[in-house]
């Protein structure tokens, strides 16, 4: 059995085509910009078996077929429930459903990584920060686990989309983007790089959970700034 | 062979009236993209800017002008123009643009109420004629209504019935006038009359009188056209004439009748044949072709009927449902998409977005790729299009059907429908809980419904009572529609529109149901949670206490979705038991237009937790906010409702999604929307309204209407200018589920 927070049946931006996004519970990181703090705690919300979950995903196959879509496991940190994730991925692939894991590359149980790589078509990997000290500031954890996962992804030659959240005052600079451009070269098979603007839509969740919001007072990243940085990245 | 038909491929269509055959043999499918399209011509610009000024004036006062000294009729008005030297397609309902017609045949009460509301008075002589000498449809209906029908009507169980205004929903095959000329159509009708000379009985007498009326109407059409300088007795000779004459035929219908929906049919492929012929022989250029279409669309945007403020409460934004059906497939391999389908959608760029005409894309996964992409792109940009499943309807109606109003399919010129508005199924459920009594007045409306044994609701007991209520309601509903359509045929017969149907027309009786999401959720609550009813002194339900969770319609959960299906099937089975007026076949729609707000107002608290007075979800939509698993789960629930043989008059679903959730750029958004439509329709769904916009934008438009003068949005089955909705209706639209991903 696994724990999921919710299912968004029409995910159009988390992987190719039309995707069912399964938000899973549990996360080892405490990113300062996290907009899903309600997924941090592991054994909460909906408990569901692999089979029941795949049966629910299967119902949306008419939308997957022509769009090249499928299922995306997100969270929380989907790798946090490694065994469950591996089983579910396998069952999805056996049902002919394209699979994607939206991850920070942490929180995994090494024992199941091999299986997870075997049954995943695409990883969406959130970089968080390039420099180890910044990584720790942003996530609360060292970069070691991420770096190991990075090696493994490269070793398995898996397709990846890289994501970087841009936070005003932290990494919204030309210097950082130029650094990022170099850093990307350390990955094989990067199919897409996305800069995600920091937003404050998650703030009410913190209030509801009674957790202090780490980025209090930081304004969302403006569209203009985002476009400017994208241009630098793509030039 | 007539010379007007030169260069056309000969066929059956020349021996008998058969527009479908003409199209099949002569059209050119277009597989390319939109790069050939041209912008707005100078003339069109001039005509449209004049219209915009008038439309602005009209928006302030509600009505620009009313003709109070002449009544409705095909040939009763002098020709009217907007800007004569720049109009390439002409013809107005009256002698001035946006001047409305008084149609007393439906009923004098409505006419006087409407005139009074806008500060007009009807010419004394006309009023006298229609009060002293001429009986109206409305008079007839109320003479014959049974006490039981009146009760259900006053209790707002049956609402929106066309008993005081035109029933509409008829689509004449206006193309016949262009292809054959009026004289040939008259000749065929005269031949039909000779076949009605034996066995003179009630039915044949009525048929003879009707055909005679049709011939009269056709002659009036000819005369009206001649005042604009056209001899339409013979076939159209070129594209301009073909479009002009088709429009004049349509216009004649809109001069004679004031039906709720006055749809235009399916014309793009037909017009395209003429345009292609002219382009080939060098008499027309692309700019001219676009100008013809743009100017036709301007004309269609000016169609008006005189309505009361109460009517506007039901159907907001002064809609006329000038529905035009575009695209669709000829067969499994070839589509009916032509360049003119593109030209229609291009008009949204050339003269801007608008609620009318109600552009309806007959969608198929097999439509040419470029057209699919262009159509969804225009939809994302303008929120003015609706999509309906051609792969679902074509096997039933063939390749020459058109959509009337919002979701009602009919074969052009071969089928018509008796419009039946709708029954409030949520209120009917409350009657099952309240022993047949109305939850607001306490009055017994449906006799013979047993009291429930306990206030802790038992699913089996409630469903048993509900079945009893629906059986009785279906009897009363049939009685009401029989009365209405008998009287409508008698006192307000649409002779022009019927003249453009085969004499031997097939008839549907189109029943409707509102509140299906509330019924589904309520019965699910009773079945899966504990529901206790609190009653007032009169013993009727006042509120409900719900203990525990229950699945809600809109989450792709079979436990509740199956309940919805059982209810619509049950209602339809009861309706099918009746022998209907003129042997009509019963059909059922799940469609509310904007009346979902009014239904909510008139319905007490329901067992799903909805408070008294809260609006219903529109059409077949899940209750706003109840669909918690994202858009596809919501679509999947609606897709399960059976169309063929059950809800075959249409299942309306309106879908809102924020642009950022649909994709990160225009091309991605178009791709995604195409695939959403494919996936939804593949499962047998019928209709989808698409609004790609954010809730924030609507909230802003509500507060600052001046900033969004032309904001068009899709509601249930039609498009409407957001500013023309009442505050209440705007609030309801904003409260609907907006699918967005964080």
Mean pLDDT by 10 residues, chain B (742 residues): 93 97 98 98 98 93 95 98 98 98 94 95 94 94 98 96 93 98 98 95 97 98 98 98 98 96 97 98 98 98 93 82 97 97 98 95 97 97 96 98 97 97 97 98 98 98 98 98 98 98 98 98 98 96 97 97 98 97 98 88 97 96 90 96 98 91 90 96 96 87 84 80 84 79 51
Mean pLDDT of chain B: 95
B473 touches B548 (CB < 8 A): no
Residue A76: asked if its preceding bond is cis (omega within 30°), the reply is yes
Q: Is B291 on the interface with A (CB under 8 A)?
A: no
Q: Which residue of B has its CA nearest to A20?
A: B632
Question: Chain A residues with CB inside 8 Å of B680's CB?
Answer: 62-63
Q: Decide which of A102 and B734 is more confident.
A: A102
Q: Is A18 on the interface with B (CB under 8 A)?
A: yes
DSSP of B276-336: HHHHHTTS--HHHHHHHHHHHHHHHHT------HHHHHHSTT-----EEEEE-BSSSS-B-
Just list the catalytic residues of B.
405-406
Q: Do A8 and B636 lie within an 8 Å CB cutoff?
A: no
Q: Is A235 on the interface with B (CB under 8 A)?
A: no
Q: Is B665 on the interface with A (CB under 8 A)?
A: no
Q: Which of residues 136-175 of A touch B (CB under 8 A)?
A: none
Q: Do B630 and A8 lie within an 8 Å CB cutoff?
A: yes
Q: Do B672 and A11 lie within an 8 Å CB cutoff?
A: no
pLDDT of residue B721: 85
B76 — phi, psi (to 5°)? -90, -10
Q: Which residue of B has its CA nearest to A17?
A: B672
Q: Do B741 and A11 lie within an 8 Å CB cutoff?
A: yes
Contacts of residue A155, defined as CB under 8 A and 6 or more positions apart, other chains included, come to none
> B325 to chain A, minimum CA–CA distance in Å?
25
Q: Is A59 on the interface with B (CB under 8 A)?
A: yes
> A84 to chain B, minimum CA–CA distance in Å?
21
Q: Do B675 and A67 lie within an 8 Å CB cutoff?
A: yes
**CA nearest neighbour of A187 among A165, A214, A156:** A156
Q: Pseudo-torsion of CA A174, A177, A178, A179, nearest 10°?
A: 120
Q: Do B365 and A7 lie within an 8 Å CB cutoff?
A: no
Q: Is B633 on the interface with A (CB under 8 A)?
A: yes
Counting one residue from chain A and one from chain B, the pairs whose CB atoms sit within 8 A come to 82
Tally of CB atoms within 10 A around B627: 26
Question: Chain A residues with CB inside 8 Å of B670's CB?
Answer: none
- Across-strand partners of B687? B388
- What tokens does B3 get? 């010379």
List % helix, strand, coil for chain A (3-state, nearest 5): 40, 20, 35
Tally of CB atoms within 10 A around A41: 15
Mutate to test the interface with A, among B634, B637, B672, B695 (most CBs of A within 10 A): B672
Q: Do A12 and B632 lie within an 8 Å CB cutoff?
A: no
The 8-class DSSP code of residue B32 comes to: S
Mutate to test the interface with B, among A4, A6, A10 (most CBs of B within 10 A): A10
> B372 to chain A, minimum CA–CA distance in Å?
14
Q: Is A17 on the interface with B (CB under 8 A)?
A: yes
Q: Which residue of B has its CA nearest to A195?
A: B664
> B632 to chain A, minimum CA–CA distance in Å?
5
Q: How would you classify the pairing of strands A19-24 and A2-11?
A: antiparallel
pLDDT of residue B741: 57
The span from the CA of B174 to the CA of B167, in Å, is 19
pLDDT of residue B742: 45
The second-level CATH assignment, the architecture, of A2-234 is Alpha-Beta Barrel (3.20)
- Across-strand partners of A21? A8, A72
Q: Do B742 and A202 lie within an 8 Å CB cutoff?
A: yes
For A209-219, what is each residue's pLDDT tens digit? 999 999 988 99
B599 touches B514 (CB < 8 A): yes
Q: Which of residues 491-550 of B touch A (CB under 8 A)?
A: none
> B212 to chain A, minimum CA–CA distance in Å?
52
Question: Chain A residues with CB inside 8 Å of B671's CB?
Answer: 67
The 8-class DSSP code of residue B717 comes to: S
Give me the numbers of helices (H) and strands (E) for chain A, helices first please.
Answer: 9, 8
**Core vs surface per residue B274-308: b (16+ CB within 10 A) or e:** bbbbbbeeeebeeebbbbbbbbbbbbbbbbbbbbb
Sheet holding B687-692, edge to edge: B323-327, B358-363, B385-389, B687-692, B654-657, B738-739
Q: What is the pTM of this model?
A: 0.94
ipTM rounded to 2 decimals: 0.88
Q: Do B742 and A201 lie within an 8 Å CB cutoff?
A: yes
Q: Is B556 on the interface with A (CB under 8 A)?
A: yes
Find the distance separating the first CA and the last CA of chain B, reported in whole Å. 65
The span from the CA of A43 to the CA of A40, in Å, is 9
> A107 to chain B, minimum CA–CA distance in Å?
23
**CA nearest neighbour of B357 among B322, B385, B382, B325:** B322
């Amino acid at each position: 059995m696994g724990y999921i927070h919710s299912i968004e049946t029409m995910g159009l931006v988390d992987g190719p085509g039309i995707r069912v996004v399964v938000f899973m519970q549990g996360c080892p990181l405490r990113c300062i910009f996290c907009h899903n703090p309600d997924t941090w705690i592991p054994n909460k919300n909906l408990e569901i078996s692999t089979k029941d979950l795949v049966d629910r995903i299967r119902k949306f196959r008419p939308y997957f077929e022509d769009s090249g879509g499928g299922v995306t496991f997100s969270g929380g940190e989907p790798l946090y429930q490694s065994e469950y994730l591996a089983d579910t991925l396998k069952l999805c692939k056996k049902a002919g459903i394209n699979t994607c894991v939206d991850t920070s590359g942490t929180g995994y149980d090494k024992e199941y990584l091999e299986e997870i790589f075997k049954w995943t078509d695409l990883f969406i990997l959130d970089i968080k920060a390039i420099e180890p000290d910044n990584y720790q500031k942003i996530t609360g954890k060292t970069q070691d686990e991420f770096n190991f996962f990075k090696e493994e992804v490269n070793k398995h030659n898996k397709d990846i989309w890289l994501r970087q959240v841009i936070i005003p005052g932290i990494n919204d600079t030309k210097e950082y983007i130029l650094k990022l451009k170099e850093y990307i070269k350390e990955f094989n098979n990067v199919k897409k790089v996305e800069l995600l603007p920091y937003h404050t839509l998650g703030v009410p969740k913190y209030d509801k959970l009674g957790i202090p919001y780490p980025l209090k007072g930081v304004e969302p990243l403006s569209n203009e700034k985002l476009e400017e940085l994208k241009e630098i990245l793509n030039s | 062979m007539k010379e007007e038909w030169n260069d056309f491929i000969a066929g059956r269509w020349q021996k008998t009236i058969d527009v479908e055959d003409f199209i099949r043999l002569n059209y050119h499918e277009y597989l390319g993209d939109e790069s050939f399209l041209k912008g707005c011509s100078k003339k069109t610009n001039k005509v449209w800017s004049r219209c915009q000024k008038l439309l602005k004036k009209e928006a302030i006062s509600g009505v620009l002008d009313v003709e109070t000294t002449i009544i409705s009729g095909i040939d009763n008005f002098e020709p009217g123009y907007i800007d004569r030297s720049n109009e390439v397609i002409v013809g107005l309902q009256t002698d001035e643009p946006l001047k409305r017609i008084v149609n007393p045949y439906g009923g004098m009460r409505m006419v006087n109420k409407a005139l009074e509301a806008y500060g007009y008075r009807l010419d004394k002589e006309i009023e006298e004629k229609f009060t002293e000498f001429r009986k109206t449809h409305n008079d007839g209906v109320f003479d014959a209504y049974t006490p039981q029908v009146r009760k259900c009507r006053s209790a707002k169980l049956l609402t929106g019935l066309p008993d005081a205004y035109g029933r509409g929903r008829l689509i004449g095959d206006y193309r016949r006038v262009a292809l054959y000329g009026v004289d040939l159509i008259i000749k065929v009708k005269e031949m039909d009359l000779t076949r009605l000379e034996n066995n003179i009985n009630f039915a044949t007498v009525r048929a003879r009188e009707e055909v005679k009326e049709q011939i009269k109407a056709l002659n009036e059409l000819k005369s009206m056209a001649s005042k604009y300088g056209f001899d339409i007795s013979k076939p159209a000779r070129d594209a301009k004439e073909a479009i002009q004459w088709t429009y004049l035929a349509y216009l004649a219908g809109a001069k004679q009748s004031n039906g709720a929906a006055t749809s235009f049919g399916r014309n793009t492929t037909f017009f395209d044949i003429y345009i292609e012929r002219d382009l080939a022989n060098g008499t027309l250029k692309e700019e001219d072709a676009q100008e013809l279409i743009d100017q036709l669309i301007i004309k269609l945007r000016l169609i008006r009927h005189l309505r009361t403020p109460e009517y506007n409460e039901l159907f907001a934004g002064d809609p006329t449902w000038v529905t035009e059906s575009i695209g669709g497939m000829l067969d499994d391999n070839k589509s009916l998409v032509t360049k003119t389908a593109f030209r229609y959608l291009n008009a949204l760029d050339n003269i801007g977005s608008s609620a009318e005409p109600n552009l309806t894309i007959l969608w198929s996964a097999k439509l040419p790729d470029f057209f699919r992409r262009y159509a969804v792109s225009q939809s994302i940009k303008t929120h003015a299009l609706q999509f309906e499943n051609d792969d679902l309807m074509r096997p039933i109606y063939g390749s020459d059907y058109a959509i009337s109003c919002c979701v009602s399919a009919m074969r052009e010129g071969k089928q018509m429908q008796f419009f039946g508005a709708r029954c409030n199924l949520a209120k009917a459920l409350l009657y099952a809980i309240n022993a047949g009594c109305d939850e607001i007045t306490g009055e017994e409306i449906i006799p013979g419904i047993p009291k429930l044994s306990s206030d802790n609701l038992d699913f089996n007991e409630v469903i048993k009572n509900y079945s009893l209520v629906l059986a009785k309601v279906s009897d009363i509903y049939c009685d009401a529609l029989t009365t209405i359509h008998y009287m409508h045929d008698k006192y307000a017969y649409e002779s022009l529109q019927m003249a453009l149907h085969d004499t031997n027309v097939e008839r549907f009786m189109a029943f409707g149901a509102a509140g299906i999401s509330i019924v589904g959720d309520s019965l699910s609550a009773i079945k899966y949670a504990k529901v206790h009813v609190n009653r007032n002194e009169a013993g009727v339900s006042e509120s409900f206490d719900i203990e525990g969770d229950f699945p809600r319609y809109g989450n792709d959960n079979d436990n509740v979705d199956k309940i919805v299906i059982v209810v619509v099937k049950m209602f339809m089975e009861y309706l099918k038991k009746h022998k209907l007026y003129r042997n009509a076949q019963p059909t059922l729609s799940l469609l509310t237009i904007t009346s979902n707000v009014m239904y909510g107002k008139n319905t007490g608290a329901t067992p799903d937790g909805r408070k008294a007075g809260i609006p219903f979800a529109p059409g077949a939509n899940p209750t706003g906010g109840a669909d918690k698993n994202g858009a596809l789960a919501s679509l999947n629930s609606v897709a399960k409702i059976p169309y063929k043989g059950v809800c075959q008059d249409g299942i309306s679903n309106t879908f809102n999604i924020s642009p950022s959730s649909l994709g990160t750029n225009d091309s991605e958004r178009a791709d995604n929307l195409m695939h959403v439509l494919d996936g939804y329709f593949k499962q047998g769904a019928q209709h989808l309204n698409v609004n790609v916009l954010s809730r924030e934008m609507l909230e802003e438009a509500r507060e600052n209407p001046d900033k969004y003068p032309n904001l068009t949005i899709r509601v249930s089955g039609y498009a409407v200018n957001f500013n023309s909705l009442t505050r209440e209706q705007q609030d309801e639209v904003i409260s609907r589920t907006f699918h967005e991903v964080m």
